[in-house]
Amino acid sequence: MSGESLLVILLVGLLAGWLAGQIMQGSGFGLIGDLVIGILGAFIGSWLFPQIGVRLGAGLVAAIANATLGAILLLLIIGLVRNAGGGWRRSWGGGWGRRW
């Protein structure tokens, strides 16, 4: 991966994180967190979608769409992990942060 493609992935990831935060209302992490999620989503989208044969086209708009879908996928996975962990704690008699 060249330096230019890395820079494009980072910039597109910043925009994609903001878009994913707007689309997935209630599951975001605030502005800074959404930007980090977007950058990670850009890496996920640029790796995962070509692996499974999904091609959204070429150009900047396709890269933004790819990164946004990667960020949404990451937010969904984080939401599932959050909910699964919270359900486990509730089923075992409450949270770990209980004060006596």
Residue 7 maps to a domain: yes
Full residue range of the structural domain in which residue 51 is found = 3-83
Residue 94 maps to a domain: no
pLDDT score at 27: 58
- Which of 42, 91, 39, 99 lies closest to 67, judged by CA? 42
CB 95 within 8 A of CB 47: no
Is residue 90 scored above 70 in pLDDT? no
pLDDT tens across 45-84, in order? 888 888 888 887 788 888 888 888 888 888 888 888 877 7
- Which of 88, 63, 87 lies closest to 4, judged by CA? 63
Residue 29 maps to a domain: yes
CB 72 within 8 A of CB 38: no
Residue 90 maps to a domain: no
How many folded domains does the chain comprise? 1
Residue 92 maps to a domain: no
Residue 59 maps to a domain: yes
Residue 41 maps to a domain: yes
> What pTM did the predictor assign?
0.69
